[in-house]
Amino acid sequence: MVLRTRTLALVSATLLVTIPGCSYIGPEFAPPCFPPAYTVDPSIAEASEKVTVSAPAADCNPRYGEDAQIQIVVQKVRGQPFVEALAPMNDDGGFSYEFTMPANAPAGEAGVSAYPHNLDWCDDTGRNNRVGTLERASCAERIEPLTIREAAVP
């Protein structure tokens, strides 16, 4: 019985020491890290007014890279984009981009999307899609509202 108890204790101690060493999770299995939430300010604008789209750094480590860019698109629902831009983005997802509302922007409700350019920004599969072949993961594109007022007539 003493030998059996010592053997069980030795096996348990060995497992406690070796199992944590085997629990490494490599980059291909890193937990999902969504881009940080972005804002549009002001949320109501008219032609020739400045609008800023920005986001703070992410709470996780998205590792976008030194030359990362954010792609910003402004468009009416089911309409053609009237602002399309690429802007610098930090490795941690933070960015700030300012544009002037174009004179041809149609009045009414529009949407602003901002997502990392040339990366699979939507990783809700539990797998890091930036390691290996890029593929679109399943999730909806985030759109922030922007109301466009008709320009005042002088």
Domains of the chain with CATH codes: 30-149 (2.60.40.1930)
Task: Indicate if the pLDDT at residue 66 is higher than 70.
Answer: yes
Instruction: For 52-118, give the DSSP string.
Output: EEEE---SS-----TT-EEEEEEEETTS-EEEEEEEE--TTS-EEEEEEPPTTPPSEEEEEEEEETT
Contact by Cβ (8 Å): 120, 30: no
Model pTM score = 0.69
Report pLDDT digits (tens) over 88-133. Answer: 999 999 999 999 999 989 999 999 999 888 875 455 555 555 555 5
Dump pLDDT digits (tens) for 72-90: 999 987 788 999 999 999 9
Task: Pull the structure tokens for residue 36.
Answer: 């940080």
